[in-house]
Amino acid sequence: MTDETEADLTGGTPRRRPKPSADKVGDRKLKPSTMMMGHGYDPMLSEGSLKPPIFLTSTFVFPNAAAGKRHFEGVTGKRPGGADGLVYSRFNGPNQEILEDRLGIWEGAEDALAFSSGMSAIATLFLSMVKPGDTIVHSGPLYAATETLIARILGRFGVHWLDFPAGATREEIDAVLGKAASGNVALIYLESPANPTNALVDVEAVRASRDAIFTGANKPPIAIDNTFLGPLWAKPLEQGADIVVYSLTKYAGGHSDLVAGGVLGSKEHINTIRLMRNTIGTICDPNTAWMLLRSLETLELRMSRAGENAVKVCEFLRSHPKVEHVGYLGFLEEGSRQADIYQRHCTGAGSTFSLYLKGGEKEAFAFLDSLKIAKLAVSLGGTETLASHPAGMTHLSVPDARKQALGITDNLVRISIGVEDAEDLIADFEEALKAV
């Protein structure tokens, strides 16, 4: 991407971005939580408006014909990096560009893209990388719609897949990648922690395995869905992932009031994905981008509080006589392989966990139907606490054998803790457990 200075020189439409961003005060490099308030936006380009206006337009006026031609060279990939200026709202827009600049900061990514949903981000990533005959190697389980996309939809176009379990060791990963390497592996796709098992993927091991088995142009990029712990508690680019994917609907959006997705990575990978987004139009709309800018200002506050609440709630639930087990990343067995991955990859246990009650569906439903503060809904990462029943809801159509293998039993309740008062939440769970 070029900055506004270059666009000025070439006569392009200036983007609503400031001159190279102030990411330092003196020698001090600013933290993401500070930069969320101003980075990528110059109020003086918008009549001094402290917050960016929402740019509701489908197209942008070129200052001259040469600038228009130059922009289209970027949009169509004749020149890498996308358009220098604003062109047409399927390609870019000021609100989306400010959002992308700020998203990238959280993980120190070179570049980022915003999408209309987590799934449209994932679909655009896949479409930009695979061709018939290629293989996607992935960790399992994945978010159900991602599994459907790989196996059933891309499968119809001759794309193959192979998987290894999320908690796999280096040897197990080597075995699967080694087998896949007889064909063309287009992408290694990870999700960590896996839903609903919470199993963490050893990204460092995947990276080492990839680098040992593949060389040169055959090296597939490693992409990872970081929706559950990112960007506060996990930054997988630091462990060797090349591309990070988000459902921004969850913690990043954080208020259960929007659907959006994001992809972060090197300029080279992002340019490839951007060309596909330009073609199929999976960019998010300006209003959603604006809402996400607001959300990012409180991301650290919200996630920190939710994480602190989850520790307290899980401590309470763990010792309750009607609870069989709490699958929470904060309770990993000391010295276990999962705890080792956690220590190398994560800075916090998140606020989404699995609660196994003693009993079955009857007990789980009695508990869910008695909650007063926690809402009975799927999704996660919002300000409010949510609870759901995977076996009867999100994973209803999963075959029984696979459900059993994934630990999706009838007594499992998935909980995403919000930013309410922790003692109020504990009181809610305590009362609901009395009804079991």
Ligand X SMILES: *Cc1c(COP(=O)(O)O)cnc(C)c1O
53 prior amide bond cis, ω within 30: no
Cα 400 to chain centroid, rounded: 28
Nearer to ligand X, 85 or 350 (CB): 350
- Judged by phi (left if over 0) then psi (alpha if -120 to 50, else beta), residue 49 lies in beta
Q: Which two tokens stand for residue 28?
A: 């001090």
Name the residue number minimizing CB distance to ligand X.
118
**Residue 197: CB minimum distance to ligand X, A:** 12
Identify the burial level of 334 via C-beta atoms within 10 angstroms of its C-beta, where 0-12 means exposed, 13-18 middle and 19 or more buried: exposed
**Residue 23: CB minimum distance to ligand X, A:** 29
Nearer to ligand X, 7 or 283 (CB): 283
The torsion angles phi and psi of 246, rounded to 5 degrees, stand at: -135, 140
**Residue 145: CB minimum distance to ligand X, A:** 6
- Letter for the amino acid at 202? D
Nearer to ligand X, 92 or 256 (CB): 256
Nearer to ligand X, 111 or 191 (CB): 191
**Contacts of 413 by beta carbon, 8 Å cutoff, 6+ apart:** 354, 355, 356, 357, 364, 367, 368, 387, 388, 389
Nearer to ligand X, 105 or 121 (CB): 121
- List % helix, strand, coil for the chain (3-state, nearest 5): 40, 15, 45
- Letter for the amino acid at 72? F
Distance between CA atoms of residues 367 and 376, nearest Å:
11
Nearer to ligand X, 284 or 432 (CB): 284
Nearer to ligand X, 121 or 436 (CB): 121
**Residue 121: CB minimum distance to ligand X, A:** 8
Q: What's the angle, vertex CA 117, arms to CA 381 and CA 210, rounded to 5?
A: 85
Interface residues with ligand X (CB under 6 A) are 117-119, 143, 191, 195, 225, 227-228, 247, 249-250, 259, 261
Beta strands in 20-76 (DSSP E): 24-25, 28-29
Distance between CA atoms of residues 344 and 135, nearest Å:
29
**Residue 164: CB minimum distance to ligand X, A:** 18
Nearer to ligand X, 18 or 196 (CB): 196
8 A C-beta contact, residue 85 and residue 71: yes
**Residue 247: CB minimum distance to ligand X, A:** 3
**Residue 120: CB minimum distance to ligand X, A:** 7
**Residue 99: CB minimum distance to ligand X, A:** 15
